[in-house]
Chains A and B, each alone.
Chain A
Amino acid sequence: MTDLSAPAWGDELPSGADIVVVGAGIVGTAIAARLAATGADVCLLERAGPAAGSSSSGEGNLLLSDKLPGPELDLAMRSLSLWHELGDEAGARIELERKGGLVAAWDAAQLSALHALADRQEAAGVAVRRLEGVDLADVEPQLSRHVAGAVFYEADSQVQPVHAVAHQLERAVANGCRTVRGAEALRWRSGVEGAAVLETTCGSLRVGTAVVNAAGPWAGELAARLGSDLPVVPRRGHVLVTEPVVSVTAHKVYEADYVGSIHDAGDGWQCSSVVESTASGTMLLGSSREFVAWSAAPAPAIVAAIAERAIALFPGLAGVRLLRTYIGFRPATPDRLPAIGWDAEIPHLLHATGHEGAGIGLSLATAEAVQCLFERRTPPVGLEAFDPARFSEAPEPTKTAPT
């Protein structure tokens, strides 16, 4: 079992800090850990608990396979190599597993689109293997025989996000980061000459360089509180957890139209099948996407659809029992790309959020980019595509929940 002997976290609110990170999810803790390691004066504020938001409701995949070539894939590749470094350091604790991902196409049309994507990913440096027939059955013996073909991505990996957050938190604290639990960032305190002061539910603190908005699906709300406009809204997802099983698959397996569903902005809900095993033996079945604000009651129709599609991929799942379902909210932007960079208008405000369904995977490269911004260095991956200012320049209708 995991060693959780992390130093107790939870300090008093300090009177000030150079950098105040808001949100102890995977992104906020990665940033805090990274900055603290360079000796920066960092304070991490969290209103609930570590990984209280999206970061405890994801599957923890670190994927290249679902990324479109371009800035997103570049960020994902950089992040994945950082994850593998972290995995070597953290050992079994964060359950990092290079399990490999398999994308399955149901028919010839899907397969040729998948191959076209794989060609471009391959050109960008991603290792891909096109599988059909007996080769496919060899890699994935229990997969439905109706699958026309698949592409295997050996670099796709998985991590246990809650343990990863605990690990990052421990690193941050060990390097002098102060962490305040139960502190909710409220607004700027006005009337303070020549200094930025952040008001929280635990009192106020002076901000030297920046407040980092790592508030996940609440990032839009936080930005508004700080006088900015950032179109990050919650995008709901269901996950089904089965009983531990003897063996169905050792990989992450998903339908080719999953990539499309991420970018689809339709009003209803989408569901495309994602099936994977975990270190604990249970299987995680996903995944749905819908904009319904913070609705926490599982939708029976979605739960049923996820089960149905999972069985379509792996007929053997029919007799496997469902143990629980849970709901999570992804921090979604209109173009599904993260918002990483200085706010276009509000000084002392830097955003590191909006990672939609890929925040676990992208967190480490995001933290690295944030460090580069503070140190005025050029980050390894260009940030133009992720500039938060893009939303104010070309106004796009913000996706909001039907009321």
Chain B
Amino acid sequence: MTPPDLAFTFDGRPLAARPGASVASALLANGIRTWRHTRTLGEGRGLLCGIGSCFDCLVDVRTDTGTERAVRACVTSLQGGDAVSTSESMGASRTEVRAAVHAGMPAGVLRADVLVVGGGPAGLAAAEGAIEGGVSVVLVDNAARLGGQLMRQPSSDSGGSCPPLSPWLAARHPRLAAAAELAGAPGLAGAPGLTIATGAGIWQLRAGKHCVVAWLEDGLMVEATAVVLAPGATELVAPFPGWELPGVVTAGAAQSLLKAHGQLIGRRVLVSGSGPFLFPVAAGLADAGAKVVAVVEALPARGLAPMVAALARHRDKATEAATYAVALVRRGVPVRTGLMVARCEAGPDGAVSRAVVVPTGEAGGEGRRDAGRALVSDRARVYDVDAVCTSFGFVPRLELARQLGVAEEVRPGQTFAGIRCDEGQATSLAGVFAAGEVTGIAGGEVAALGGAVAGAAAAAYCLGRDPRGGEGDPRGAPAGRRVLRARRFAERVGLVYRTAVPLGVIGDGTVVCRCEDVRAGTVRAALDAGAASSREVRNATRCGMGYCQGRTCGPVVQLLLAEALRTTPAAVGDLQKRPVATPVRLELVARGAGPPA
């Protein structure tokens, strides 16, 4: 029996959506791609990252109790009767504040031995490892359901395409499986020794002597003795003219929309960018019935040769790659290398309708340019599309690590800094452990293995034991070897794709900071005027001062600066210093003076 549809309105139009839908998936299911106007230029925007990180998909929602302005459509679940309207990108005003986004969450204090931040493979394994080590755990994830990006779970009844988490968990993390069942909706769930808090992010994390305190955006406070940081990474999106159009989204957004809501981002989709992530996304979309017009990889075939060599040495990865290749061939999806999107153009509804693809070389300085430094190519190929997925890799999410002040490093093959940790996943601060993509982009296997070690080490720390004493690494030496092998693969992959971000397509009129409407010309003027760090660019241009606090534009600013100063992105500093890791209502800030006595 199919559950009844939810009735809602968008800008006054009556519409219906499946129960469990997010506001974004409900709008997309109804063919609506634009639902925000930017504040200064009034341009249309829609979905971008799909995971609550970019704040580009802001929308206003009126319910019985009031209006919430500027909430993220991708992480706000739709309720029957909601009146959704185009957002002008401005927040609450006096009369229009609904009580709480996640009304189900009680405000209060949770105490546990170990706080695990992140519910992806690394965080789940860490929680399991810590519980196995004999201590209590609070696991926090800002998504509504556990799983992270890799194991993203369908929202209830909405027909997502991802296999359910429970069997996967049952096989790997038996203690978590039952509790995760309970954590079906945002809120608190638990089992002995384990509390899971989903649907709210940590906005502030502080470490004292033998204690860490986390403040959540819904008012909850968590106190623990040790912490495992496993917040993962955000997707790196490189701008091109038209990347801001509704319908142009990250590859991860298309994937999570499909996994969580069974919703296709479009019917004719171009998947473009650089990196191995393009393939599973394209294969997933094609399998779910989208026409993937092409997969376009910026690196030329010869640049990819080392990738083939790397795959030859890692049979498991080769098998995975082959699965995607077979899926793409079966669906007749062409894979083309050495090409990139030079620009996207809008259709009559203001959302993307065409993608213009050119040889990557032309973007790298060979191409002809008009007065505004925009590329003019004779070898362009035009695709008619209703969605473009783009991805150039991932950037470790360092904001919580920065709040604590743990040491960072740029691992071999990585473009951006991650948390530095030893083989025991210990960071430079006592009681702070890290695992997964936040320590450097290396994939789900390294994350899960590292998470288990981190969880066990955090437990040992709480109990005053030497983590390496006794039986040592809970998974034993073979696990260590697997981590090393997987890291080496990640390193090879990283070196292959490192140089693949084509900045040459960015014309002066291309938007760089989507939150604050800052164009590349303004950023370049700041560079010409002598700005030498990301911070200076931010102060001069407002890049990074918007809702996302530079999560989207920060890495781009870094890359542009590094290019101008002929240095590495890590050398110019980033915009990840965020004393407020996610926007939080002032009434909760006012409450959060400190851990209650």
Contact = CB atoms under 8 A, between A and B. Distances in A.
Nearest to A49: B536
B4 to A, nearest CB: 32
A245 B519 contact: no
Contact of A318 (B578, B580, B585): B585
Interface of B is mostly: loop
Contact of B540 (A162, A298, A310): A162
A51 to B, nearest CB: 7
B313 interface: no
Contacts of B203: 322
Interface in B545-595: 545-547, 549, 578-580, 583-587, 589-594
Contacts of B583: 243, 321-323
Contacts of A310: 586
A166 B578 contact: no
B179 interface: no
Contacts of A214: none
The residue in B39, B533, B589 that gathers the most chain A C-beta atoms within 10 A of its C-beta is B589
Interface string B195-216: 0000000011010000000010
Contact of B579 (A243, A280, A298, A318): A298
B100 to A, nearest CB: 9
B315 interface: no
B420 interface: no
B93 A247 contact: yes
B112 interface: no
Counting chain B residues whose Cβ lies within 8 A of the other chain, the interface size class is 35 or more
A321 B93 contact: no
A323 B586 contact: no
Interface in A304-337: 304-305, 307-308, 310-311, 314-326
B92 interface: yes
A142 B94 contact: yes
A1 interface: yes
A1 B590 contact: no
- What is the size category of the interface that chain A forms with chain B? 35 or more
Contacts of B215: 300
Contact of B586 (A49, A244, A318): A318
Contacts, number: 163
A308 B540 CA distance: 30
A231 interface: no
Interface string A283-306: 001000000000001101101110
Interface stretch (A2-10, A107-115, A379-387): A2-10
Contacts of B97: 316, 318-319
Given A281-B39, A316-B93, A321-B585, A304 B580 contact: no
B408 interface: no
B542 interface: yes
Contacts of A181: 530, 532
B90 A246 contact: yes
Contacts of A166: 529, 540
A2 B40 CA distance: 13
Nearest to A182: B532
B95 interface: yes
A50 interface: yes
Nearest to B542: A280
A310 B587 CA distance: 10
Contacts of B540: 2, 4, 162-163, 166
Among A1, A10, A282, A311, the most chain B Cβ lie within 10 Å of the Cβ of A1
Contacts of B92: 245-246, 316, 319-321
B518 interface: yes
B541 interface: yes
Interface string A194-226: 000000000000000000000000000000000
Given A316-B95, A320-B91, A8 B530 contact: yes
A177 B254 CA distance: 54
B525 A311 contact: no
A228 interface: no
A177 B96 CA distance: 52
Contact of A323 (B549, B587, B592): B549
Contacts of B586: 240, 242, 285, 307, 310-311, 317-322
5 contacts: A5-B525, A163-B540, A246-B96, A304-B591, A311-B586
Given A2-B522, A243-B583, A314-B94, 6 more contacts: A6-B529, A162-B540, A244-B39, A280-B545, A297-B405, A304-B590
